[in-house]
Amino acid sequence: MSPYRNLEEYNIEITNEVKEHFSKIVDDIGEDVTREGLIKTPERAAKAMLFLTQGYKQNAEEILKGAMFAEEYDDMVIIKDIEVYSLCEHHMLPFFGKAHIAYIPNGHIVGLSKIPRIVDVYARRLQVQERLTHDILECINSTLKPKGVAVVIEAAHMCMMMRGVQKQNSVTTTSGFRGQFEKIETRNEFLKLISSDLS
């Protein structure tokens, strides 16, 4: 089975069930679900929600294992500014921002696109930013077994912007470091490179 399962493979019964729930929500908030503009809304919302949570059906380890190549390169590899869109598990509202990821190979490198792909696998679930950071970190660490891995995520949370505390400019930064990145010099080099426009 492809590790990149997507919407086309979604179970029609689940889509219809989620659609019925959205229909009820539209009704419960006082809207007219039969109004022209809203007729297809429960179905669209169901498909959007299933798309945004498709990570539960995907396997990040398989994605990484599918493109690991033996290579004697033992310097830092950094992929920065990877867009992240996730849903906070408390309010099911989006949080979004950027992930910066680095690893130091240990006999194997990985296809570059696979790093953003595994970010999406873990982001497309109900998450907290801390767990998202650690899920990505542990997946790379246990699958690629590099000499070191680092993950930094900077994100804004709609549940803190549109409602609740209503702060528009706060950004949450989470990070995780394993192996050689636990050494302060290596970690600082990574942090310096992700803050530069030239890395």
Ligand X SMILES: Nc1nc2c(ncn2[C@@H]2O[C@H](COP(=O)(O)OP(=O)(O)OP(=O)(O)O)[C@@H](O)[C@H]2O)c(=O)[nH]1
Q: Which residues are catalytic?
A: 88-91, 129, 157, 159
Residue type at 110 in one-letter notation: V
Give the DSSP letter string of 30-52. Answer: T--TTSGGGTTHHHHHHHHHHHH
Closest residue to Zn ion, based on beta-carbon distance: 159
Return the one option of Zn ion, ligand X, none that residue 18 interacts with (CB less than 5 to 8 A, by type). none
Q: Which helix (H) or strand (E) holds 61?
A: helix 60-65
* 45 is an interface residue for Zn ion by CB under 5 A: no
Q: How many CA atoms lie within 13 A of 168 on its CB side?
A: 0
Number of residues that bind Zn ion (CB under 5 A): 4
For 81, left (φ over 0), alpha (ψ -120 to 50), or beta?
A: left
Q: Is residue 159 a known part of a binding site?
A: yes
Q: How far apart are CA 139 and CA 3, in angstroms?
A: 15
Q: Which of 78/158 has CB closer to ligand X?
A: 158
Q: Which of 79/160 has CB closer to ligand X?
A: 160
Q: Which of 129/180 has CB closer to ligand X?
A: 129
- Which residues are at the interface with ligand X (CB under 6 A)? 88, 90, 128-130, 157, 159-160, 164-165
Binding residues for Zn(2+): 88, 91, 159
